Chain A
Amino acid sequence: MAEPDALSGMIREIIQRHSGMPTRLLQILRDVQDHLTWLSPEALERVAEELDISPVKVHSVAEFYSFLYTAPRGSYDILFSDNITDRMLGNRELLHYLCDRLGIGIGETRADGLVTVGTTSCTGMCDQGPAALVNGYALTRLDTARLDRIVELVNGQILLAQWPREFFEVVSNIRRADILLGRHFADGSALRAVLKRGPEAILEELVKSGLRGQGGAGFRSATKWISCRSAPGEVKYVVCNADEGEPGTFKDRVLMQDFADLVFEGMTLCGQVIGARQGFVYLRGEYRYLLDSLQATLQRRREAGLLGEAILDDPTFSFDIDIHLGAGAYVCGEESALIESLEGKHGVPRIRPPFPTTHGYLNKPTVVNNVETFASAAKIAVEGGAWFASRGTAESKGTKLLSLSGDCERPGIYEYPFGVTVQRVLEDCGAPDAQGIQMAGPAGHMISARQFNRRICFEDLATGGSFMVFNHQRDILDGIRNFTQFFVHESCGFCTPCRVGTSLMRDLVTKVHTGHGTRYDLEEMRKLGRIMRVACHCGLGQTAPNPVLDSLDQFPESWERRLRSTAFEPAFDLDAALEQARQLTGRSDPGAYLREEELMLGTMP
């Protein structure tokens, strides 16, 4: 632990590096934690003093994000990605194996303070799992051999920089390319197009292209840009949503890794069209490993005159991009929560309207688009709207990147024109034995084989890109239970229907999954789901019941074969709940037990 003076010095230096801006609070806390492994009360106090903001504000941020720790943590902090696709690949066994070898329990820090092992939500490595993070850096393709090596590295206190490079190798697995991934793009060509033809002409192309938001909601991008361009105000912002928190999605990771120039070009183009001089990429913390190369790409673009002051030597064209790292909060993918987080606050969704296009970052007009949307926009500026619109369906133009994972032979990225059938995708990725698909992530839809002829497009099955395959050997309810736990973990806690509802739903699902439920519980799930859909403040809570409600319709037999024949079963084991008291009192008289036949009374109303 740093001495008080050393602590102040370190914190002051970090804050200076971030120009003393309170909007960079989250970034500052991340950096402080990198030094200390956790955020001690003294450190938080010092940060508040140096930034001249209230300690309460600093605490609220430190406590909100999963990757910020307000209790001591091991110098090596290992978090296993715990999505259902990691589980399919055997991550739980590996997790227990590692914990055993290190001599700790899940979520514990070893007594010597050297190492902590826990779990986290999907880290976006679904096609190359089981995956984990060590001190925020992605580990892929874990197996026992790798874990044995990791135990040695940890116990030998080997610096992360000296760990074998291949442990951190992240491959792109592009399996099918179409117009976005398949065609060459000359850096700067979209920016030349906007300078030559002017913002109005580019907007016309964008309208013609029919491009819709690729983050999942499918809002028309041209409408968003036009609305922001015409919003009153001198200062405007462009924000690229690279939070990619939906379990099973990893296409934005591949775009940021292999096509960063295209994405940055789309953002810069947007800046010129709407009249913004500053852009931000909100990169999920799990993609920390990309940060240095992205910074280098930005620098190269500045040197090439594609970013910064007087882009392409035009003094009226200035735009720069800053990268903010998230810290493990799915809700920060929601655009208004993302903006809060960018402003250095905890990420609770705002009340909308007003929308970001008029009141976004620092309450200024802001365009928030998904990574893939910006990449498509750059292409459209060069190739034209008609070219883009020649692919896809009536209401869904162009192509869509799908992230395939789960039970298929060739997981990875597949680019298809909108309108492709689920069946076709399954054939291409090698999934002849599919029982069901979780489409668009836990917040999306679960479909069964009866629906494999449906088409992927906004008119039919909309998706942000997640496509998780379950084969016939899988228990659908394993997936559902995993998803309900995900939502419990990720609920930001702001509104009651979601904070409480996600936990109630998880408990009901667990009750049925473990063989203690009745038909009554299924009805309760439906009721609860209906309430959450209408009463939750943001999309997270509104969509959280989807996997449960969909599977009740699509896979009724998976639920029903677990039900008790009684009309009602208690939520917990009544007699077992007396065990502790029996032990504390040493009683074993008849009154110290709840016998089965007495309990049956209450199960038959």
Chain B
Amino acid sequence: MIEPKLKIATCSLAGCFGCHMSLLDLDERLFELAERVELDRSPLTDIKELGDCDLGLIEGGVCNAENVHVLMEFRARCKILVAIGACALSGGVPAMRNQYDLKDCLEESYLRGIGLVNPQIPNDPEIPLLLNQVHPLHEVVKIDYFLPGCPPSADAIWTFVNQLLSGQPLALPYTQIHYD
């Protein structure tokens, strides 16, 4: 009998897609992975509607209302939710704006920036509203696992996903999660 494939979804919130690039760095191991899992919603599939999944991998922190919605949906649909990369774990680079007032950030970008034509703060309902600060994922939903790194290496992702899918205890070698 063929085992049903496990379903995985991924997404990038306030991140740079670097963590997804690291996932692609699995290279030929991607074929091996594809034997065992099926990708649901992910930038790699372009599926827009999230289905029920076994595992959700999220890159990036939470910076706007849309991020909140997507994250909530992932939490509701994924049995296991994993924060991947420094941005998801602690806000990372986008959170550097937290030391400034949101007003100053927006004015610097849209009113005072160099070379602006018709300066104004965008207010189109299509554009997600910014939260006043950027937050790590675990401040918004319960996160089951955290994989550090900026980005975590393909090897670290590989070890982690394999151990998780095969139900082994999680244990990453020192070199895969330390950077000294």
- From residue 135 to 166 of chain B, which have CB atoms closer than 8 A to chain A? 135, 139-142, 144
Which chain A positions have C-beta within 8 A of B128? Answer: 591
Instruction: Check A585–B123 contact: CB distance below 8 A.
Output: yes
> Which A residues contact B (CB, under 8 angstroms)?
520, 567-568, 570-572, 574, 577-582, 584-587, 589, 591-592, 594, 598-599, 601-605
- Rounded to whole angstroms, the CA-CA distance of A592 and B106 in the bound complex is 16
- Rounded to whole angstroms, the CA-CA distance of A602 and B72 in the bound complex is 4
Which chain B positions have C-beta within 8 A of A591? Answer: 65, 125, 128-129
Q: A571-B135, A580-B102 are in contact. Are A585 and B142 (CB under 8 A)?
A: no
Q: A574-B140, A584-B106 are in contact. Are A602 and B71 (CB under 8 A)?
A: yes
Contact indicator per residue, chain B 91-129, by CB within 8 Å of chain A (1) or not (0): 000000000011100100000000000000111010011
Instruction: Check A581–B131 contact: CB distance below 8 A.
Output: yes
The contact of A578 among B65, B72, B135, B139, by CB within 8 Å, is B65
- Rounded to whole angstroms, the CA-CA distance of A498 and B17 in the bound complex is 32
> Which B residues contact A (CB, under 8 angstroms)?
65, 68-69, 71-73, 75-76, 81, 101-103, 106, 121-123, 125, 128-133, 135, 139-142, 144
- Rounded to whole angstroms, the CA-CA distance of A592 and B69 in the bound complex is 12
The contact of B130 among A568, A581, A601, A604, by CB within 8 Å, is A581
Which chain A positions have C-beta within 8 A of B131? Answer: 574, 577-578, 581
Q: Which partner residue on chain B sits nearest A520 by CB separation?
A: B142
- 18 sampled A-B residue pairs with Cβ under 8 A: A568-B141, A570-B140, A571-B139, A574-B68, A578-B130, A581-B102, A581-B130, A582-B129, A584-B106, A585-B121, A585-B122, A591-B129, A594-B69, A601-B73, A601-B76, A602-B72, A602-B75, A605-B81
Mostly helix, strand, loop or mixed at chain B's interface?
mixed
Instruction: Check B75–A605 contact: CB distance below 8 A.
Output: yes
Instruction: Check B75–A592 contact: CB distance below 8 A.
Output: no
Mostly helix, strand, loop or mixed at chain A's interface?
helix
Which chain A positions have C-beta within 8 A of B123? Answer: 585-587
- Rounded to whole angstroms, the CA-CA distance of A515 and B41 in the bound complex is 35
Instruction: Check A567–B102 contact: CB distance below 8 A.
Output: no
Instruction: Check A592–B65 contact: CB distance below 8 A.
Output: yes
Q: Which partner residue on chain B sits nearest A589 by CB separation?
A: B125
Which chain B positions have C-beta within 8 A of A572? Answer: 135, 139
Which chain B positions have C-beta within 8 A of A582? Answer: 129
Shortest CB-to-CB span from B132 to chain A, Å, is 5
Shortest CB-to-CB span from B91 to chain A, Å, is 12
- Rounded to whole angstroms, the CA-CA distance of A594 and B135 in the bound complex is 16
Q: Which partner residue on chain A sits nearest B79 by CB separation?
A: A605
Instruction: Check A584–B71 contact: CB distance below 8 A.
Output: no
- Rounded to whole angstroms, the CA-CA distance of A520 and B139 in the bound complex is 12
- Rounded to whole angstroms, the CA-CA distance of A580 and B68 in the bound complex is 16
Q: Which of A570, A572, A579, A602 has the most CB of B within 10 A?
A: A602
Shortest CB-to-CB span from B34 to chain A, Å, is 27
Q: Which partner residue on chain A sits nearest B78 by CB separation?
A: A605
Q: A577-B133, A594-B68, A602-B71 are in contact. Are A584 and B103 (CB under 8 A)?
A: yes
- A-B pairs, top 7 by smallest CB distance, nearest first, are A602-B72, A585-B123, A571-B139, A568-B142, A602-B75, A602-B141, A601-B76
Shortest CB-to-CB span from A599 to chain B, Å, is 6
Shortest CB-to-CB span from B148 to chain A, Å, is 13
Instruction: Check B129–A585 contact: CB distance below 8 A.
Output: yes
Instruction: Check A602–B129 contact: CB distance below 8 A.
Output: no
Instruction: Check A570–B139 contact: CB distance below 8 A.
Output: yes
Which chain A positions have C-beta within 8 A of B72? Answer: 598-599, 601-602
- Rounded to whole angstroms, the CA-CA distance of A35 and B43 in the bound complex is 64
- Rounded to whole angstroms, the CA-CA distance of A605 and B53 in the bound complex is 13
Q: A581-B130, A582-B129 are in contact. Are A601 and B121 (CB under 8 A)?
A: no
Q: A587-B123, A587-B125, A591-B125 are in contact. Are A605 and B133 (CB under 8 A)?
A: no
Shortest CB-to-CB span from A118 to chain B, Å, is 22
Shortest CB-to-CB span from A311 to chain B, Å, is 54
Shortest CB-to-CB span from A16 to chain B, Å, is 42
- Rounded to whole angstroms, the CA-CA distance of A392 and B117 in the bound complex is 82
Shortest CB-to-CB span from B121 to chain A, Å, is 6
- Rounded to whole angstroms, the CA-CA distance of A574 and B141 in the bound complex is 11
Which chain B positions have C-beta within 8 A of A587? Answer: 123, 125, 129
Which chain B positions have C-beta within 8 A of A604? Answer: 76
Q: Which partner residue on chain A sits nearest B76 by CB separation?
A: A601
Instruction: Check A584–B121 contact: CB distance below 8 A.
Output: yes
- Rounded to whole angstroms, the CA-CA distance of A132 and B98 in the bound complex is 34
